[in-house]
């Protein structure tokens, strides 16, 4: 009975924190939209309409992405205690990584020479989300270069690594950075449109695929190196 009450209390605390964090994140785009519209109402300058419409659209898209991420995490946490339910289809992880690297339009260099064949079992849409979140996160923090690689190990694992030449992640933050709404650089991440949910989603999806995710220093670029490790489907 005591153990059950402890779990219920922990669940209530986590739920309250989740609602508080979500409300805090939604408050900013809502305030920006309201401010822009209030300024527009007070002006007779017709040329401001297009500018404000663009700003409002950007904030609206930001809220949409945030809500979608919150729903994804809520659905996953609603299954807490149940075995992960993911497809066991064969997925060519190297094809996904190459596709995502070519999808991005950026003035930063994305190196793909380290991508080799890597096949895993799982849900291709969810694994695309993992790759996309890791690449987008690296691009937000990189100064000029990002490296993505897929390698197979002798232990029967496939390792997806995304590295950047940014400031990296301090050791005390390396575990907490995969928590919801956790940022290593609050101001910069908020300015670049990050919600603090992308890495939490990565950690959740990788865990559902019976894998692990970690972050350390990039030996090649000196910034952060995020690595997602999954079982090799070919072995």
The 10s digit of each residue's pLDDT in 3-19 is 888 777 766 766 666 66
- 189, pLDDT greater than 50: no
| pLDDT confidence band for 235 (50 / 70 / 90) | confident
- 147, pLDDT greater than 50: yes
Which CATH code fits 89-231?
Answer: 3.30.565.10
Q: What separation in angstroms does the CA of 28 have from each of 22, 72, 114, 144?
A: 11, 21, 39, 29
Contact in structure between 158 and 120 (CB atoms under 8 Å) = yes
| pLDDT confidence band for 186 (50 / 70 / 90) | very low
Residue 225, CA atoms < 13 Å, CB-side half-sphere: 15
What class does CATH assign to 2-78?
A: mainly alpha
Contact in structure between 120 and 231 (CB atoms under 8 Å) = yes
Say what the pLDDT of residue 109 is.
95
SS3 180: coil
Residue 181: which of 25, 71, 31 has the closest Cα? 25
Domain boundaries for CATH 1.10.287.130 within the chain: 2-78
25-49, pLDDT tens digit by residue? 677 778 888 888 887 888 777 777 8
Domain boundaries for CATH 3.30.565.10 within the chain: 89-231
The residue behind tokens 């575990």 is 175
SS3 216: strand
Mean pLDDT of 81-108: 84
More confident residue, 200 or 138: 138
Say what the pLDDT of residue 70 is.
74
Contact in structure between 218 and 147 (CB atoms under 8 Å) = yes
């Amino acid at each position: 009975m005591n153990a059950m009450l402890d779990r219920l209390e922990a669940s209530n605390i986590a739920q309250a924190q989740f609602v508080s964090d979500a409300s805090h994140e939604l408050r900013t785009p809502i305030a920006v939209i309201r401010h822009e519209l209030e300024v527009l109402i007070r002006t007779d300058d017709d040329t401001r309409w297009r500018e404000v419409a663009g700003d409002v659209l950007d904030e609206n898209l930001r809220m949409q992405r945030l809500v979608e991420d919150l729903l994804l995490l809520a659905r996953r946490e609603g299954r807490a205690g149940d075995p992960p339910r993911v497809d066991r289809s064969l997925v060519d992880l190297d094809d996904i990584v190459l596709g995502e690297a070519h999808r991005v339009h950026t003035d930063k260099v994305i190196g793909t020479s380290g991508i080799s064949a890597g096949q895993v079992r799982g849900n291709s849409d969810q694994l695309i989300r993992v790759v996309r979140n890791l690449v987008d996160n690296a691009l937000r923090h990189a100064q000029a270069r990002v490296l993505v690689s897929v390698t197979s190990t002798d232990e029967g694992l496939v390792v997806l690594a995304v590295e950047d030449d940014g400031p990296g992640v301090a050791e005390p933050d390396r575990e907490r950075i995969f928590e919801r709404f956790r940022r290593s650089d609050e101001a910069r991440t908020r300015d670049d449109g990050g919600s603090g949910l992308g890495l939490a989603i990565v950690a959740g999806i990788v865990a559902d695929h019976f894998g692990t995710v970690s972050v350390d220093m990039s030996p090649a670029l000196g910034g952060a190196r995020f690595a997602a490790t999954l079982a090799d489907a070919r072995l």
